Amino acid sequence: MSALHSVSRSYRAEMIKLRRPGTVVAMSVLALLTVLSTVLTIALADEPTTAAAGGGSGDPGAGTPLDVSLARLATSQGLVLGFRGGATFNGLLIFVLFAVSMTAEYGQGTLRTLFLKEPRRLGWLAGRLGALLAAVAVALLAALGLSVAGAAVLAPLRDVDTSAWWTFGALGEAAAAYLNALLAAAFFAVAGTALGVALRSTTAALLVGIAWMFPIEHIIQDSWGTATSVLPGLVFDAVGRGGVPAAAYTPALLTALGYALLAAALTAVSLHRRDVTA
């Protein structure tokens, strides 16, 4: 009961902190990046013959995030293709948000005072992550709504038939896209938190995390196709996009869960055992 009380107290305290302008700006940027992805997806959609090598197959994860055909846009999944394409952008933002929010606690020295009054460190961490992920969940829902609205406005400009967008099948695609985006967000959040706890420096955490999960992993991917189903950043991205040709959804999800559990375990051990002043 005391552990649950610790989680609850931490959750409520973090919800108060989330009212800060910086958090609102970060969540707004997340929504705007999704809208940008939607605009680019529809604006750059090409004829099936041109896009066949990339995203014209109908596979939810086919091709690059923004490589789709007009024919694919006219399917039931077309309504959320832009939202899915924003998984990479959103993953980067969420990773940065969670890493910085964690390292800031060390940099400002607030943990030292906090843990004197609340010795249950893991309860504090669980409540904190829960509050931040709740904010991300709301932001992603808003982003989905904006993405759908933007797609509905832009589709007629490309003469896309949207009759399949307003069906139960399309509703299922939207629900799946949101769930996958939320799962990917949680994975990136845990990774960012783990790196923040391990390095305790904002600069170091961002340099190591961003450099590895984005440019370095994509460079490795160019020469090693299996990297998409092995390296954490690429796997998290594959989950957010609902699976890609080089990383089917279910194996990617299981791999991502493995990475997340490992990161969570290392974070718990480090936070519990290391001196916060060290």
* pLDDT tens digits along 147-162: 999 999 999 999 999 9
- CA 245 to chain CA mean position, Å: 20
Q: Is residue 211 part of a domain?
A: yes
Q: Is residue 122 part of a domain?
A: yes
Write the single-letter amino acid at 221. Q
Write the single-letter amino acid at 75. T
Q: What is the pLDDT of residue 37?
A: 92
Q: What is the pLDDT of residue 88?
A: 83
Q: Is residue 224 part of a domain?
A: yes
Q: Is residue 117 part of a domain?
A: yes
Q: pTM for the complete prediction?
A: 0.89
Q: What is the pLDDT of residue 64?
A: 57
Q: Is residue 223 part of a domain?
A: yes
- Reference 197, options 99, 95, 91; nearest CA is 99
Q: What is the pLDDT of residue 80?
A: 93
Give the 3-state DSSP-derived string for 112-133, with helices as H, strands as E and coil as C. Answer: HHHHHHCCCHHHHHHHHHHHHH
Q: Which residues of the chain have pLDDT under 50?
A: 1, 49-63
Q: Is residue 246 part of a domain?
A: yes
The overall average pLDDT reported for the chain is 86
Q: What is the pLDDT of residue 213?
A: 83
Q: What is the pLDDT of residue 53?
A: 43
Q: What is the pLDDT of residue 278?
A: 54
Q: Which two tokens stand for residue 20?
A: 């800060």
Number of structural domains (the chain) is 1
Q: Is residue 278 part of a domain?
A: no
Q: How many CB atoms lie within 10 A of CB 249?
A: 17
Task: Show Cβ contacts of residue 153 under 8 Å, excluding neighbours closer than 6 positions.
Answer: none
Containing structural domain, residue 188: 2-273
